[in-house]
Amino acid sequence: MLIPFSMKNCFQLLCNLKVPTAGFKNTVKSGLILQSISNDVYQNLAVEDWIHDHVNLEGKPVLFLWRNSPSVVIGRHQNPWQECNLNLMREEGIKLARRRSGGGTVYHDMGNINLTFFTTKKKYNRMENLKLVVRALNAIQPQLDVQATKRCDLLLDGQFKISGTASKIGRTTAYHHCTLLCSTNRTFLSSLLKSPYQGIKSNATASIPSVVKNLLEKDPTLTCEVLMNAIAAEYAAYHQIDNHINLINPTDETLFPGINNKAKELQTWEWIYGKTPKFSINTSFNVLYGQSYLEIKIVIDIKNGRIEICNIEVPDHWLPLEICDKLKAGFIGSKFCPIETTMLTSILHKTCPKDDELHSKWNILCEKIKGIM
């Protein structure tokens, strides 16, 4: 049963906030089920942050249900260049987000359900949450073979991954969130979560590829709505609370004071790319010169998403050394990003001698460099 989360509802719900006024307040005795009306990945991730930061969950656990329009979400300690196809994402208009929990990279669309289980740190238990999801699935389809693994994934028929897990554990509060593949575009999932970039060396957390399958492929009655209602019912029964799904608007400052600033921060380049652990790229490519090919080597160190060291080895008979040095020096301190590189190389291009052949070689080199970003 869905209940719109009105102002009247909200002031009767939840629990001893760490903020002085407005938003959730007072008297839920045992727990709450929320569902976002937004499909924006940044807004929904901001809800997680807000609840984690502001809500006292002692004796009052929260289940948050949410779905996103197409987006790729990387873990807190991951490298997006290593995890996904950024060029394809730009072409297709797919959003990239970095969450505050650990774990691997996932693809979200409207065929994927996100479940966030909020508890106190003491009561945090990922396996119990997954068992709850399994019970919910079996309640609507007893023939389903779904099992939780030691890695806290859910497997269908012993081989197909239908859910991955990540978590954030704070000083007193914790949350565990997981996906549930219902009718996700598996073609997009596999192509977007495959990095084309070569020569990356990084200590960032790496995702482990898995064979996936949608629950809807197993049983066409298992729609997202059916699954969410079943999980909500099982959650309510387990925690002995009313089986009500309360609809929330993640942009409503009267419910969540300061939440829009959280969403804005999650959209910044500094958070999405700048929080990438330090890494390097060591690669090479060939360019045609006369009747043969010349090898060009590139080594770049990136820290906080910006180029810290740049070394480009180009045969000086193909491109003069002073031109190559100017390009390398110009890159230092700039964002490791094709848009900024395009702007930078365009400015530097104007300082080069007016020579058509030289400009052609410059453009070839710059396009190759942008191709690794």
What range does the domain containing 346 cover? Answer: 279-372
Q: Are residues 333 and 264 in the same domain?
A: no
Using only C-alpha atoms, the chain has a radius of gyration, in whole angstroms, of 24
For 283, residues 6+ apart whose C-beta sits below 8 A from its C-beta are 198, 199, 297, 298, 372
pLDDT of residue 275: 97
Residues 39-88 pLDDT 10s: 999 999 999 999 999 999 998 999 999 999 999 999 999 999 999 999 99
Q: Which residues pair with 281 in a beta bridge?
A: 200, 300
Nearest residue to 373 via CA among 347, 333, 341 = 341
CB of 290 closer than 8 Å to CB of 319: no
Nearest residue to 300 via CA among 248, 336, 268, 263 = 336
39 CB neighbour count, 10 Å cutoff: 16
Q: Are residues 233 and 368 in the same domain?
A: no
Q: Are residues 344 and 208 in the same domain?
A: no
Q: Are residues 246 and 301 in the same domain?
A: no
Do the domain assignments include residue 4?
no
Q: Are residues 206 and 116 in the same domain?
A: yes
User: Which CATH number belongs to the domain containing residue 117 in this structure?
Assistant: 3.30.930.10
pLDDT of residue 19: 38
Q: Are residues 199 and 320 in the same domain?
A: no
User: Which CATH number belongs to the domain containing residue 341 in this structure?
Assistant: 3.30.390.50
Q: Are residues 187 and 47 in the same domain?
A: yes
Residues of the chain with pLDDT under 70: 1-29, 348-349, 352-353
143 CB neighbour count, 10 Å cutoff: 7
pLDDT of residue 349: 67
Q: Are residues 176 and 310 in the same domain?
A: no
Do the domain assignments include residue 19?
no
Q: Are residues 199 and 299 in the same domain?
A: no
C-alpha to C-alpha distance for 308 and 328, rounded to whole angstroms = 11
